[in-house]
Amino acid sequence: MTLIRHKEIVQDNWHYLQDGQSPKPSHNIVSLDYWLENKTRLISDEAPLGLLVQGDEDVTNFANDLQYFSLIAIEFPTFTDGRGYSLAKTLREHYRYQKEIRASGDILPDQALYLTRVGFDALELANEEHAPMVLNKLDEFSVFYQPHYTST
Count of helix runs (H) and strand runs (E) in the chain: 4, 8
CATH class of 2-136: alpha beta
Instruction: Locate all alpha helices (DSSP H) within the chain, ordered by sequence.
Output: 32-45, 83-93, 112-117, 131-138
According to the model, what pLDDT value does residue 46 have? 83
- Read off the pLDDT of each residue in 22-42 and give the average, rounded to a whole number: 89
Mean pLDDT for the stretch of residues 11-20: 86
Sheet with 15-16, edge to edge strand ranges: 8-10, 2-5, 122-125, 100-105, 71-76, 49-54, 28-31, 15-16
pTM for the whole structure:
0.86
